[in-house]
A = this chain, B = another copy of it.
Amino acid sequence: MSGFATALKVAAGLTEARLQAEIAALPDTPVRAAMAYAARGGKKLRGFLVLESARLHGIAPEMAVQAASAIEAIHAYSLVHDDLPAMDDDDLRRGQPTVHVKWDEATAILVGDALQTLAFGLLARDDAAPMPQARLALIASLAHAAGGAGMVLGQALDIAAETAATPLSLDEITALQAGKTGALIEWSACAGARMVGADPTHLAAYARALGLAFQIADDILDVEGDAALAGKRLHKDEAAGKATFVSLLGLDGAKARARDLIAEAQEALQVYGNDAQQLREAAQFVIARSN
């Protein structure tokens, strides 16, 4: 395995173990079982970004793993709610039945709700790592990234787009994705800087380019991918007649745009020199999925 593949695997193991331990400490109900199920698997890319961002600022993984687990709990909550019949209505996620299929809709609503709560609890109770002010900054910035000015804004724009008279423009779809997937990726990449009160500007620029490239890669995979490998339903944007980066830029144009964004992401890391090697490889990984 490459250095990046190893680092991603180690980060995923650490993050998932912490998150599962937190869930296992809750009272035993079907909601707890479904929370554990929803938090299982996936690449844990956001957790990896937190741990790498922390390492860049001299913070050891064991000091940053609560923040990494928190962002993965938020990500897992958003997937469970996104998959609900009233939202994207997906029955497959990470190659397994979605929570509302395996349990029921009420359980899926509660699982998402409780995973979000858990994320903020993890950040507030993280006595291992950063100073109180830094932890409050992490919580406030996560609330901004996940809420009605961040991820939920992106989802609200997505819903509005479905009933709009005309398909979204490139600017509109870029704004939508900056909220829907970009905000949590940016929070993750900036977390280490926030933990020590450092300037997150360069990491934010890296993350914005990475997040957009990630979404473009997702749109490419939706057209070109293999559903068995992706572990989820594909071709659904096309079927729904939704504007995507591929429908707006064409397949080659989308691939070129993703490559440009990855170059931009790498450029933003220059200030960190060799220490940012894993983050550079993470950027390569994002387009390797689709090129």
Interface positions of A (Cβ within 8 A of B): 23, 26-27, 29-32, 35, 77, 81, 84, 86-87, 104-107, 109-110, 112-114, 116-118, 120-121, 123-125, 132-133, 135-137, 139-140, 142-144, 146-149, 152-153, 155-157, 159-160
Contact = CB atoms under 8 A, between A and B. Distances in A.
A117 B143 contact: yes
Contacts of A148: 23, 26-27, 29, 31-32, 35, 114, 117-118
Given A86-B104, A160-B29, A155 B121 contact: no
Copies in the assembly, this chain? 2
Contact of A153 (B27, B77, B87, B120): B27
Contacts of A125: 136, 140, 143
Main secondary structure of the interface of A (DSSP, over half): helix
Given A27-B148, A30-B156, A117-B143, 19 more contacts: A26-B147, A31-B148, A31-B156, A86-B109, A107-B159, A109-B109, A110-B152, A112-B113, A113-B152, A114-B148, A116-B117, A117-B146, A117-B152, A120-B120, A120-B143, A121-B140, A124-B143, A132-B133, A132-B136
Given A81-B113, A118-B147, A29 B140 contact: no
B152 A31 contact: yes
Contacts of A147: 26, 114, 117-118, 121
A137 B125 CA distance: 8
A239 B157 CA distance: 39
21 contacts: A26-B148, A26-B153, A27-B149, A29-B157, A30-B160, A31-B153, A35-B148, A86-B106, A87-B109, A110-B152, A110-B155, A110-B156, A114-B152, A116-B116, A117-B143, A118-B143, A118-B147, A123-B139, A124-B143, A125-B136, A135-B136
